[in-house]
Structure 1
Amino acid sequence: MGADMTLRSLYLPTRHTINRTAATDTIRRLCRQATADDLRVLIDHGWVADEVHSSADTWTDEALSARAAPLRLAAETELLHLFDRFARSLGHRDVIRYRFDNGDEGIDAYQTGGLSSGDDPTDAHSAWDIVFDTGRLPDTWTDQIRAAAGLLHPWGTGPAVTTVTFRAWA
């Protein structure tokens, strides 16, 4: 019998909020400029549903080109919805917020998570996938979304967010 405890943390400058405008503009730009390879990643990882093809591997270049516009629009709609869910989650009761500061300057830390037996431990934990899932979105998309949203690392370097999993077995 095992148990996992997964924690996610993200950071904003003190007294700042998520920059929704910049992040949504970035999401729109990324989706509207999505290449065939980007669309394949979005389809394969379930960001874009398609009734005809279960996997992007079954898409020919011609089929992707013919359906690129609706696929890009579907991706944009889904990612904007997910980003909005993420931004709203920062005020949920399953998110802890605290401040590290030195007078007027500092960072606000947000954390969520907990014990998990395969499912996400909190609603906020799953809502944060849009800024954590670097492997499920096309290369650099998550980094660009995080940067546009204003997320930062507490030391000013490295990733804007962290995930830590503790494992214990009985």
Structure 2
Amino acid sequence: MGADMALRSLYLPTGCTINHTAATDTIRRLCREATIADLRVLIDHGWIDDEAPYSEETWTDEALTARAAPLRQATETELLQLFDGFVRSLGQRDVIRYRFDNGDEGIDAYETGGLSSGDDPTDAYGAWDIVFDTDKLPDSWPDQIGAAAGLLHPWGDGPAVTTVTFRAWA
């Protein structure tokens, strides 16, 4: 029997809020410019809830190209809703907020997580997928969305967010 301790941390400049406009503009741009390869990643990982059944045979490059416009629109709608859920989650009770500062400057840290045996440990943990799931969204999409939202990396470089998972087996 095993258990995971999964934690996620987000960082914003002290006193700042999520830049909703910039992030939603970035989501719209990414979705409208989504390539066939991007659409395939989105379908493979369940981000697009399309009415057509998915299989390798039905979703050839030609089939994706023919349905690209509605798939891009469905992705945009889904990701915008997920982003709104992410923003709302920052104020939920399963998120801890604290400040690292040096007087007037610093960062506000938001953390969520806990023990997990397969499911997300908190609702917020799942809501943060839009800026964390670098392996389930097309390359660089979570980083671009997070950076547009104003999220910081604590060292000032690299991805906008970090994930830490501790595992223990009994």
> Normalization by structure 1: what TM-score?
0.95
Distance 1:2 1:30, change over 3 A: same
Distance 1:146 1:28, change over 3 A: same
* Aligned 8 A contact 1:9 1:110 in 2: yes
> Pairwise mapping of residues 82-121 of structure 1 onto structure 2 (< 5 A)?
82-121=82-121
Report the number of matched residues: 170
Residue in structure 2 matched with residue 72 of structure 1 by the alignment: 72
Residue in structure 2 matched with residue 158 of structure 1 by the alignment: 158
> How far, CA to CA, are the matches of 2:63 and 2:7 in structure 1?
41
* Aligned 8 A contact 1:152 1:161 in 2: yes
Residue in structure 1 matched with residue 21 of structure 2 by the alignment: 21
AA aligned to 1:39 is L
* Aligned 8 A contact 1:44 1:56 in 2: no
AA aligned to 1:50 is D
How many angstroms does 1:56 deviate by? 5.5
AA aligned to 2:41 is V
How many angstroms does 1:50 deviate by? 2.5
Q: Give CA deviations for 1:4-32 in whole Å, capped at 9, x if unaligned.
A: 11100010000000101000000000101
Runs of 4+ in 1 over 4 A off after TM superposition: none
> How far, CA to CA, are the matches of 1:34 and 1:4 in structure 2?
34
Residue in structure 2 matched with residue 141 of structure 1 by the alignment: 141
Structure 2 stretches of 5 or more lacking a match? Answer: none
> How far, CA to CA, are the matches of 1:109 and 1:81 in structure 2?
23
User: Percent same amino acid among aligned pairs?
Assistant: 82
The Cα RMSD (Å) is 1.2
AA aligned to 2:80 is L
AA aligned to 1:140 is S
How many angstroms does 1:34 deviate by? 0.9
> Normalization by structure 2: what TM-score?
0.95
* Aligned 8 A contact 2:8 2:163 in 1: yes
Q: Give CA deviations for 1:115-139 in whole Å, capped at 9, x if unaligned.
A: 1111110000000000000011111
Residue in structure 1 matched with residue 9 of structure 2 by the alignment: 9
> Pairwise mapping of residues 29-48 of structure 1 onto structure 2 (< 5 A)?
29-48=29-48
* Aligned 8 A contact 2:3 2:115 in 1: yes
* Aligned 8 A contact 1:44 1:55 in 2: no
Distance 1:56 1:23, change over 3 A: farther
Q: Name the SS of the counterpart of 2:9 in structure 1.
A: strand
